[in-house]
Amino acid sequence: MLIKKDRAIVLGATGNLSYAVANVLMGIKKHSPDLKADFIVFHNDISENDQNLLNSIIPCKFIVYEMPINTNGVAQSSFPRYSKLAFSRYECLKLLDEYKKVLWMDVDILVQKDISKIFDYAKTGISLLQEEVPLQECFSIPIDNYDMKGSHYNSGVLLLSDNLFEYNKMVDWLYSKTYEHANYLKYADQGIINLLVQEFKLEVDKLPEKYNCHPRKKDIKNACTVHPYSPQKFWCWYEKMYHFKEWDQNNKKWLKMGGTPYKGLKYDFWEKIVKNIDYDCPHPIRQPGKLFKFILKKIKKGQ
């Protein structure tokens, strides 16, 4: 009889996001040093060099992911912001054969406090953050036979436990429904995960917001993880709205290690010059009011 391990933490990313994987691993290592778990990374093109560097942060098992459904005929606009690696979270259900609890974390997350207590959840088999919008938010059209005004959950942080009834049957169902509704998905896997909750009549153990907290939330300083589930990310400097020193500090460590950097649009003049002098200085165009208050505060301090 197979003796299951206690827990696994699962990430999924393409090779051009290895810096984001590194950031999550650094955050967990720093803030949850006593957390015992196996780390699994689904990917399709993380380089051998980056894999070695990531392993030097926290040892990981790297698994090449191929979506097991043929997406030919699916409109390209169905996945405008997401790679197919987003759907590798479905594989977490298979991992329940080996682990008692499995935690999926999106890689656009900053871990800024201890996350160990998150494993106290999923007593019903599944734990997710409930959002205020209805299920319809996930789809461009209503989906027949589902309550589109029903509860909507964010799948960016997903905790599963092996007392989830019939979890092995759910994997094929998830992929099948992804193909069936692919042309109507707005948030990749999230809509399908929400359909799963209704289809299998799952009782969701509500995950506290501190484990999946958007940067715009008021209690962000007390959050264990910060998750900008929107087009704006910590690394998108051309539209950057979220300034978190710790994310940048982690990223500098990654670059110093020789890891693959973010290859999107570069800093504008303000980020490149002024931010290096005083990181907290607001942008003159995007944040003129904050800049005025910032300057007054500096004057009062005599700086």
DSSP sequence for 55-109: HHHS--EEEE---SS--TTS-GGGSSS--GGGGGGGGGTGGGGTEEEEEEE-SS-
pLDDT of amino acid 106: 96
* pLDDT band at residue 282 using 50, 70 and 90 as cut-offs: low
Q: Structure pTM?
A: 0.84
Q: What is the DSSP letter of 263?
A: -
* pLDDT band at residue 240 using 50, 70 and 90 as cut-offs: low
Q: Give CA separation, 260 vs 15, 44, 168, 297, in Å.
A: 8, 15, 36, 38
* Rg of the chain over all Cα atoms, to the nearest angstrom: 20
- C-alpha 243/C-alpha 246 separation (Å) is 9
Q: Residue 303 above 70 pLDDT?
A: no
Which pair of structure tokens corresponds to residue 171? 């994997």
* φ and ψ at residue 152, rounded to 5 degrees: -125, 130
pLDDT of amino acid 70: 66
Please state the rounded mean pLDDT for residues 233-262: 84
Contacts of 58 (CB under 8 A, 6+ apart): 25, 28, 29, 39
Contacts of 194 (CB under 8 A, 6+ apart): 135, 138, 151, 152, 153, 155
| Calculated CA dihedral for residues 105, 81, 61, 36, nearest 10 degrees | -10
- Residue 39, Cβ neighbours under 10 Å: how many? 20
3-state secondary structure of 270: helix
pLDDT digits (tens, 9 = 90+) for 138-196: 898 999 999 989 999 999 999 999 999 999 999 999 999 998 888 888 888 999 999 99
| Residue of higher predicted confidence among 201 and 229 | 201
Side chain identity at residue 261, one-letter code: P
Mean pLDDT, the chain, as a whole number? Answer: 87
Apex 57 CA angle, 55 and 63, nearest 5: 35
Q: What domains lie within the chain, and their CATH numbers?
A: 5-211 (3.90.550.10), 268-303 (no CATH)
Q: Residue 278 above 70 pLDDT?
A: no
Least confident of 4-8, 100-104, 131-135, 190-194: 131-135
- C-alpha 160/C-alpha 149 separation (Å) is 25
Which pair of structure tokens corresponds to residue 100? 């008692």
* φ and ψ at residue 239, rounded to 5 degrees: -140, 25
* pLDDT band at residue 49 using 50, 70 and 90 as cut-offs: very high
pLDDT of amino acid 287: 65
Which pair of structure tokens corresponds to residue 158? 């997903």
